[in-house]
Amino acid sequence: MNNYRESKKKILVAGGAGYIGSHTVKELVKRDYKVTVLDNLSNGHMTSLEGVKYVNGDIGDYAGVKGILESEEIDAVINFAALAYVGESVSNPRRYYDNNVVRGKALLDAVVDSGVKKIVFSSSCATYGIPEKVPISEGEKQRPVNPYGWTKLMFEQMMKDYDQAYGLKYISLRYFNAAGADADGTIGEEHDPETHVIPILLQNTLGLRKQFSVFGTDYDTRDGSCIRDYIHVTDLADAHIRAIEYLFERETSDCFNLGTGDGITVLELIDAVQRITGRKLNVSLEGRRPGDPDVLVADNSKARSVLGWSPVHSSIDNIIETAWKWHSGE
Binding stretches for ligand UFG (CB under 6 A): 84-86, 124-126, 177, 195-197, 200, 213-215, 226, 228, 266, 289, 292, 296
Minimum distance from residue 76 beta carbon to ligand UFG (Å): 23
Give me the amino acid identity at 126. Answer: A
Which residues have C-beta within 8 Å of that of residue 63, sequence separation ≥ 6? none
Q: Which of 191, 205, 177 is nearest to 279 (CA)?
A: 205
Give min distance, CB of 248 to ligand UFG, in A: 27
Identity of the amino acid at 261: G
Compare residues 173 and 187 and give the one whose CB is closer to ligand UFG: 173
- Closest contact distance (angstroms) between CB of 330 and ligand UFG is 22
- Helix count and strand count (H, E) for the chain: 11, 14
Q: Computed from CA positions of residues 36, 243, 29, 185, in that sequence, does the dihedral angle turn out positive or negative? A: positive
Report CA-CA distances (Å) from 96 to 38, 146, 155, 187. Answer: 19, 11, 12, 26
The nearer residue to ligand UFG, 9 or 188, going by C-beta atoms, is: 188
The Cα 83–Cα 177 span in angstroms is 15
- We find the least distance from the C-beta atom of residue 203 to ligand UFG, in angstroms, to be 10
- Report the DSSP beta bridge partners of residue 36: 12, 53
Cα separation of 187 and 180, whole Å? Answer: 10
Q: Give the count of beta carbons closer than 10 Å to the beta carbon of residue 63.
A: 9
Nearer to ligand UFG (CB atom), residue 80 or residue 85: 85
The residue whose Cβ lies closest to ligand UFG is 226
- Identify which of residues 69 and 125 has a Cβ nearer to ligand UFG in the complex: 125
- Given the residues 148, 162, 170, 175, select the one marked as catalytic: 148
Distance of alpha carbon 133 from alpha carbon 256, whole angstroms: 16
Nearer Cβ to ligand UFG (53/209): 209
Q: Say how many C-beta atoms besides its own lie within 10 A of residue 191's C-beta.
A: 14
Biggest CA pair distance of the chain: 56
* Dist. CA 36–CA 53, nearest whole Å: 5
Respond yes or no: is residue 162 known to be catalytic: no
What element of type H or E holds 248?
Answer: helix 233-250
Shortest distance in whole angstroms from residue 66 CB to ligand UFG: 29
Question: Residue 16 or residue 263: which is nearer to ligand UFG going by CB?
Answer: 263
Q: Residues with Cβ < 8 Å from 99, sequence gap 6 or more?
A: 60, 81, 82, 83, 151
Write down the least CB distance from residue 324 to ligand UFG, Å: 16
By annotation, the residues acting in catalysis are 148
